[in-house]
Amino acid sequence: MTDAALAPTPFVDSDHPRVAAFARDAAGTGSARERAVRLYYAVRDGVRYDPYAFRVSPDWLTGSRALEAGFGWCVPKAVLLAACCRSQGIPARLGFADVMNHLATERLLRLMDNPEFLWHGYVALLLDGRWVKATPAFNVDMCRRFGVKTLEFDGTQDSLLQPYDERNRRHMEYLRDHGLFDDLPYERAVADWRAGYPRLIEAAERGEIGGRFESDRIHR
């Protein structure tokens, strides 16, 4: 399992030159845990969260594409963090769960045919002999805009999205866990996404979703 969690894959392209260079610069020196923490924050805040970049073609779901674009939704950002860690010799796997985001924006909810966020992505890292979960999805600027606590990671405890926001409103509810994978289970995930979000995917692929996610209004 550890060998597979270190190897480059079609999506977790840890051998891509840009990914390797980004990871090297962001990780710095020190223990695996110290470098993993720095990589977490580099991906969390260096790649803007944008659910309107929801594309399901394979080339949109690689770590290198998220890095090159500078934005992405939870799955590409998780893939990028896994790729960066693997390039630094830190075993990393992809985790997925179906969640209910109670603070989604009005425009996003209008585009979605399903109120659940299917195959939400996170990462599991092998640090100090055990697997620790990290979720680099929401960048700090977005969290400040929407009144959500930034999700921190210290490499010793699981870092999963919080159930409540800063005003004690429901935020994130984990519904179903799909488990951990060495690469994105593309066929399974895309089948569920296409069934769950046909209008969102069609609008995104036609380039009909404009503007920045941070300018939207939160649904109450």
pLDDT for residue 220: 47
- Smallest CA-to-CA distance from 94 within 63, 66, 71, 57 is with 63
- Smallest CA-to-CA distance from 147 within 171, 172, 125, 166 is with 166
Query: Rounded to whole angstroms, how far apart are CA atoms 144 and 188?
Result: 34
pLDDT: is 87 or 169 the higher one?
87
Q: Which residues pair with 124 in a beta bridge?
A: 93, 133
Query: Rounded to whole angstroms, how far apart are CA atoms 143 and 150?
Result: 6
Residue 84 is inside which H or E element, if any? helix 74-87
Instruction: Write out pLDDT tens, residues 79-95.
Output: 999 999 999 999 999 99
pLDDT for residue 1: 60
Q: What percent of the chain has pLDDT over 70?
A: 89
pLDDT for residue 64: 98
pLDDT for residue 114: 77
Query: Rounded to whole angstroms, how far apart are CA atoms 167 and 56?
Result: 34
Query: Rounded to whole angstroms, how far apart are CA atoms 85 and 91?
Result: 7
Instruction: Write out pLDDT tens, residues 29-52.
Output: 999 999 999 999 999 999 999 888
**Strands 71-72, 48-49: pairing kind:** parallel
206 SS3 class: coil
pLDDT for residue 215: 57
pLDDT reading at 180 higher than 80: yes
Sheet order of strands, 116-127 included = 130-134, 116-127, 92-101, 172-181
Instruction: Write out pLDDT tens, residues 119-165.
Output: 999 999 999 999 999 999 999 998 888 788 889 999 999 998 765 56
Cβ partners under 8 Å of residue 210, min gap 6: none
pLDDT reading at 53 higher than 70: yes
Q: Average pLDDT, whole number, for the chain?
A: 89
DSSP string covering 121-165, please?
Answer: EEEEEEETTEEEEE---S-HHHHHHHT-PPPP--SSS-----SB-
Domains of the chain are: 17-206 (3.10.620)
Q: What percent of the chain has pLDDT over 90?
A: 65
Q: What's the pLDDT band for 9 if we cut at 50, 70, 90?
A: very high
pLDDT reading at 172 higher than 80: no
Query: Rounded to whole angstroms, how far apart are CA atoms 34 and 21?
Result: 18
- The secondary structure of residue 54, as a DSSP letter, is -
